[in-house]
Amino acid sequence: MAAVDLARRVADAGVDRIVYTDVSRDGTLGGVNIEQTCTIARESGARVTASGGVSSLDDVRLLQGAKPCGIDSVIIGKAIYEGRIKLQDALKV
C-alpha cells in the first residue's frame, strides 16, 4: 500500500496527526522529503509531523515554509545527536 493511501485511510478513521518518516532518508542527514510529506498532508487532511533526513537548520526553515500544506512539526534526531543542530536554535526557527 502506498503511504498516501494509508494516510487517507487512517485520516478517514479519525486520526488527526500523522508522523511521516521517509525511511530512505532516515538517519542519512540527506534532507527532508518535503514534497512527499506535503502530499501526505494534503491528501489526508491530517496534520503531519515530518521525520527523516533533517540535517541542518536550513531543513527546518524549508519545513517552516511548507507549513501551509499541513506540515506543522518535525522530529530531529541524528542532527542533534551529532551536534549539527542545537535544539535551542531549531526552536527559534
Q: Which domain holds residue 33?
A: 3-92
46 confidence band (pLDDT: 50, 70, 90): very high
Count the domains in the chain. Answer: 1
What pLDDT was estimated at residue 24?
74
Model pLDDT for residues 47-81, shown as the tens digit of each residue: 999 998 899 999 999 999 999 999 999 999 999 99
Average predicted confidence (pLDDT) for the chain:
92
Cell numbers representing residue 64 in the block: 517552516
pTM, two decimals, is 0.87
* Phi, psi angles (nearest 5°) of residue 16: -110, -5
CATH of the domain at 56: 3.20.20.70
Which stretches of the chain are DSSP H helices?
A: 3-12, 34-44, 57-65, 78-81, 87-92
Q: List Cβ neighbours of 84 (8 Å cut-off, separation of 6 or more).
A: 29, 55, 56
Summarised one tens digit per residue, pLDDT across range 2-19 is 999 999 999 999 999 999
**Phi, psi angle pair for 17, to nearest 5°:** -135, 135
